[in-house]
């Protein structure tokens, strides 16, 4: 199940996808990642990629709209996985 968050339209916040538990099980690490942000949101800078997690700073959004942000990783072992977060925009 994807994570869901409420975000103020004026907020510029970091969102993290943590693969550590899965990567520990398969003894692998993240070698690269991309974050796809839909129209209406803005990815601020490049994602911060560690061996077990990806963090992307996101800004923008329209009140009462919902967005899905997708992070795809490639592991050192050549596996590809994708996870999503859902952002609902609301004045806070």
pLDDT digits (tens, 9 = 90+) for 41-91: 999 999 999 999 999 999 999 999 999 999 999 999 999 999 999 999 999
- Provide the CATH number for the domain formed by 3-89 in this structure: 2.60.40.10
Q: What is the pLDDT of residues 2-47, one digit of tens each?
A: 799 999 999 999 999 999 999 999 999 999 999 999 999 999 999 9
The reported pTM is: 0.94
Nearest Cα neighbor of 85 from 51, 72, 9, 45 is 72
pLDDT at residue number 23? 98
Domain ranges of the chain: 3-89
Q: Residue 1 pLDDT more than 70?
A: no
- Cα–Cα distance between 42 and 89 in angstroms, integer? 13
């Amino acid at each position: 199940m994807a994570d869901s968050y409420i975000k103020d339209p004026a907020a510029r916040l970091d969102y993290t996808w943590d693969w550590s538990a899965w990567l520990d099980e398969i003894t692998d690490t993240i070698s690269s990642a991309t974050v796809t942000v839909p129209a209406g949101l803005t990815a601020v800078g490049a994602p911060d990629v560690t061996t077990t997690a990806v963090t992307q700073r996101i800004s923008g959004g329209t009140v009462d709209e919902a967005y899905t942000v997708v992070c795809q990783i490639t592991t050192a072992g050549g596996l590809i996985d994708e996870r999503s977060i859902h952002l609902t925009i609301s004045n806070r």
